[in-house]
Structure 1
Amino acid sequence: MRLMAPGTVMDGFVVGECLHAGGMAQIYQVGYADAARAVPFPLVMKVPRMTPGDGAENIVGFEVELLLLSVLTGPHVPRLVAAGDLEKLPYLVMEYIPGRTLQQLLDEAGAPLPAEEIARLGAAVAQAVHSLHLQDACHLDLKPANVLVRPDGRVVLLDFGLSRHAHYPDLLAEELRPAVGSPTWMAPEQVVGVRGDPRSDIFAIGVMLYELATHELPFGNPQTRGGLRQRLWMDPAPPRALRPDLPEWLQEVILHCLQNEADRRYASAAHLALDLSDPQQIAVTGLGRRLRPVGFWGHFKRWLRAAGKDYQPSPLPSRQIDAAPIVMVAVPYLDVSDVTLYSLRRAVMRVLGTTPRARLTCVTVIDPATTPGHDSQTSETTVHRRYLGMLRQWAQPLQLDSQTVSFHVIESGDVAQALLHYAQGNHVSMIVMGAATHGLQMQRLLATVPIKVAMAAPCTVILVKQALPFEQLANEEAAQPTLAGINASMV
């Protein structure tokens, strides 16, 4: 396929420099041929490769990408401007976004990246993928070359030619072979032809995290169907076996993403982003401590399970997200009564009882100016540990698995803004908080905080009133320590 010469005019666009000429497409800088017409943002033209020797996949991929870019919105996808006629010259004119792909970062580094950098990149990728899933779309071809990192650290996803939108026909599944995708990053369910499960994208993120952490590929680059099917039951070498200095929490995350069965991976990309945004809160299990892959008999049992497994198409991505929400409870830290803490806990129990796959995040916002024990003689780490311990004690009666609850202490003088920022940044689906965010002496001063949160929150807010007379509380929780008692001992 010949390159277009700079200066070529195509449907009102003038072609500039060729930025990329690959096996699937050519990408050019473009502008409007009419010099008087203002360009709202830099533009590029993507021309898919369609020579007589190319297969139908390129044609169908062009149609799929045009469809996806026409309906997807948000900062994590390029904005579509125009498209060419498939009968004449197919092309897509879209927003040009500056930055570097993960593949470029890998090539430039030439070695595994630091764990903190991997966590930051992984959280940004998971945030972008989650925004896609919220729109009932799955990328299904996530790989380092298709992930663009902006200069400010945000991630943009590229190349939607193999993607699927749940509201439209799946052209690729109808017209092409069952296993569609890039073999290195393809999830096990994709190997057997199941497309549209959002957890397939989580598997691909796990492959990228593995490569960033070890500079190796977890499953190699298989080219045969038999080689692809091995990932239905085979485990990769634990990352720490290749890189002993890797933190256990990072291996925990990577291997959690790479589980053979989709139900054993993160329930949503938002759950993954939540862990990577605060790695110290990750509960390390045997996955994180493992130094050897599963043995022969373990793989043999998995092989038997995979051979008899009936892989079913998944429901709408947004429906899966709704079934695994992130629930945030705002726990007061200062001058709070036992009744308020008890009522909050009961409300959280009711919420979790209706959504068993929910992830609970317990948050307290501390103000350095009014925090007991926070002074020049006490380190910030010590104070945060103290309040993290208080949150854990508050949540103990909930009897939650360590994988489904996390604890976060935020330092801010503006309680409402801190809670809103946390909820928005972590895709929280529901906020549970007291009708007054602080205790008895400060209710009048801070009574507007719950209203501010309720009015501006990007999700449902449940305001909890005290529901139990204080004199009955001793009979209900005689054996349980309370935050009120802990606060009193700290002052």
Structure 2
Amino acid sequence: MSELPIIGGYTLGPVVHRGGMAVLREATHPDHPGPLLMKMPKMAEGEDPAAIVSFEMEQMILPRLTGPHVPRCYGAGHEPVPWIVMERISGGSLLPLLKRLPRAPEEVALLGAGVADALDGLHRQGVVHLDVKPSNILRRGSENGPMVLVDFGLSRAALLPDLMEEEFRLPYGTAPYMAPEQVMGIRGDPASDLFALGVLMYFFLTGKRPFGDPQRMADLKQRLWSDPTPPRAIVPECPPWLQEVILRCLEPAPERRHASAAHLAFDLRHPEAVALGPRAAKLKRDGWTKRIQRRFNPEFQPRLRRKAEALPQRDAPIMAVALDIDDISKEMSAALRDTVGRILAIRPNARVACLNVLRTNLLRPDNTLDREGRNKHVQRLLELRHWSAPLALPEHRLTHHVLEAVSASGAILEYATQNRVDHLILGAKAGGITQRVLGSMPTEVARDAPCSVTIVRVRDF
């Protein structure tokens, strides 16, 4: 009989769940009675690199969360594969309820209030979930136990770097539940979670999703100007106050939704306190002329703006150091680290972003695994972590990024531009006829960079 695998001191058991981006396995540890789960990203050939980046986000966020509405985290690590160990929540998710829709209005209100409580607990800790949906909501213990939010891979924490925003231009989320501002690439507004909860309540009440299940960006953007069919037009027994609450959650402009998750929970538990307006009386969608007006007249479009408190503070500059892991000497590695250390001594609040470019092919398919069957993206992340370990920076000031691109210089320049990098550090290449004729990648980056650039050279003795 073969021995069970052990990672980080935890003995792994059978697979419990295979999701779109990660795998959950039972785990045991002599110091923790459990029950426990170990979560690992999916790393088979052809997997989306976003699965690994989102997993890094969860590794940063989950250990910082406390309270009854999140699973307790027991540990996280990066070797031999990235992993997180958390408590196993005894109750199931809300996903099985989708087989028995629609639900009674009273049940929808009670369920929505419980989820709003969980969101309030999360938002008070400076985290926005950004992927609220039935499969990510569990019950702790009995049927009346508190709601628990899981899967923080797409979440945004106000005091942590946002790796998803820094590395990807397209929005990530679950299409039916994404708020308009999230579709437009704006992350970090707690009102986005209220929109998703509004979608969930609408779905549970009517059996229909308010904006369908769009698969294209153009279809996703329609929720900025196209209103859903009012719930009372589908479910006549829906009380006007509940329609008022749900349609308020689904407002395109975040400021027109509830002021907080706590306010939403209060309304769902106190129908008599809900002020009824035009939303409560609607029995059909707005006419096409009004929808066209909202679509093309800027005066009627929601003003989607990033909240200042959700953005990195500019008194903490970003320093990015690019490492060519495939071709770097010990001397250059040490010289780059020494340069970063000297700049940190001058700018002690700076955040360091360690970059590596994984070159991709322009025409033929790319292999995501190396000859030993290891994920290339993960291996490079590990090497970046090993290189940066001597810097001894706290996690919120040190990030690691593997950028997959055809052009190394193009990827570094795009990262620096999109993330408002203040200082780039690169190692000089050894001279050669090709470099003298065509120039070098560091030279190209220095020429076009939107910030200061330091090119480090190792002397030949």
Per the normalisation by structure 1, the TM-score is 0.60
Per-residue deviation, 1:308: 6.6
Which residue among 114, 130, 139 is the counterpart of 1:124? 114
- For 1:92, the aligned partner's letter is I
Per-residue deviation, 1:299: 1.0
Match for residue 269 of structure 1? 261
CA RMSD across the alignment:
1.9
Which residue among 11, 15, 29 is the counterpart of 1:14? 11
SS of the residue corresponding to residue 210 of structure 1 reads: helix
- For 2:8, the aligned partner's letter is D
Match for residue 230 of structure 1? 222
Per-residue deviation, 1:84: 2.8
Task: Note closer, same or farther for the CA distance 1:305–1:145 as it changes in structure 2 (3 Å cut).
Answer: farther
- For 1:154, the aligned partner's letter is P
Task: Note closer, same or farther for the CA distance 1:6–1:159 as it changes in structure 2 (3 Å cut).
Answer: farther
Match for residue 288 of structure 2? 296
Unmatched segments (≥5 aa) in structure 2: 311-461
Contact 1:6–1:15, Cα closer than 8 Å, also in 2: no
Match for residue 212 of structure 2? 220
Which residue among 32, 45, 57 is the counterpart of 1:39? 32
Describe how 1:285-364 pairs up with structure 2 within 5 A: 285-305=277-297, 311-316=304-309
Contact 2:7–2:80, Cα closer than 8 Å, also in 1: no
Query: CA offsets, 1:114-162, max 9 Å, x none?
Result: 1111111111100110111111110011111101122233110010000
SS of the residue corresponding to residue 148 of structure 1 reads: strand
Task: Note closer, same or farther for the CA distance 1:236–1:19 as it changes in structure 2 (3 Å cut).
Answer: same
Match for residue 376 of structure 1? none
Per-residue deviation, 1:70: 1.8
Per-residue deviation, 1:22: 2.4
Question: Does residue 136 in structure 1 map to residue 130 in structure 2?
Answer: no
Which residue among 131, 149, 152 is the counterpart of 1:157? 149
Task: Note closer, same or farther for the CA distance 1:221–1:180 as it changes in structure 2 (3 Å cut).
Answer: same
Match for residue 78 of structure 1? 71
SS of the residue corresponding to residue 215 of structure 2 reads: coil
- For 1:209, the aligned partner's letter is M
Which residue among 136, 151, 154 is the counterpart of 1:146? 136
Higher relative contact order (CA 8 A, sep 6+): 2
Describe how 1:297-446 pairs up with structure 2 within 5 A: 297-305=289-297, 311-316=304-309
Partners of 1:260 and 1:145 lie apart in 2 by 24
Contact 1:162–1:172, Cα closer than 8 Å, also in 2: yes
Match for residue 25 of structure 2? 28
Per-residue deviation, 1:310: 5.4
Task: Note closer, same or farther for the CA distance 1:12–1:191 as it changes in structure 2 (3 Å cut).
Answer: same
- For 1:105, the aligned partner's letter is L
SS of the residue corresponding to residue 34 of structure 2 reads: coil
Partners of 1:118 and 1:221 lie apart in 2 by 21
Contact 1:257–1:266, Cα closer than 8 Å, also in 2: yes
Contact 2:253–2:303, Cα closer than 8 Å, also in 1: no
SS of the residue corresponding to residue 13 of structure 2 reads: strand
Q: Which runs of 4+ in 1 moved over 6 A?
A: none
Identity level (%): 46
Contact 1:119–1:279, Cα closer than 8 Å, also in 2: no
Partners of 2:91 and 2:204 lie apart in 1 by 18
Contact 2:89–2:139, Cα closer than 8 Å, also in 1: no
Which residue among 187, 195, 210 is the counterpart of 2:179? 187
Unmatched segments (≥5 aa) in structure 1: 318-491
Per the normalisation by structure 2, the TM-score is 0.64
SS of the residue corresponding to residue 270 of structure 1 reads: helix
- For 1:123, the aligned partner's letter is A
SS of the residue corresponding to residue 82 of structure 1 reads: strand
Contact 2:63–2:75, Cα closer than 8 Å, also in 1: no
Contact 2:127–2:155, Cα closer than 8 Å, also in 1: yes
Partners of 1:68 and 1:300 lie apart in 2 by 41
Partners of 1:190 and 1:91 lie apart in 2 by 27
SS of the residue corresponding to residue 311 of structure 1 reads: coil
- For 1:172, the aligned partner's letter is M
SS of the residue corresponding to residue 17 of structure 1 reads: strand
Which residue among 63, 86, 94 is the counterpart of 1:94? 86
Partners of 2:265 and 2:238 lie apart in 1 by 19
SS of the residue corresponding to residue 230 of structure 1 reads: helix
Contact 2:75–2:86, Cα closer than 8 Å, also in 1: yes
Match for residue 176 of structure 1? 168
Contact 1:83–1:92, Cα closer than 8 Å, also in 2: yes
SS of the residue corresponding to residue 14 of structure 1 reads: strand
- For 1:16, the aligned partner's letter is G
Match for residue 198 of structure 1? 190
Task: Note closer, same or farther for the CA distance 1:17–1:316 as it changes in structure 2 (3 Å cut).
Answer: same
Match for residue 54 of structure 1? 47
SS of the residue corresponding to residue 316 of structure 1 reads: helix
SS of the residue corresponding to residue 168 of structure 1 reads: coil
Query: CA offsets, 1:65-95, max 9 Å, x none?
Result: 011112111111111112231x521111101
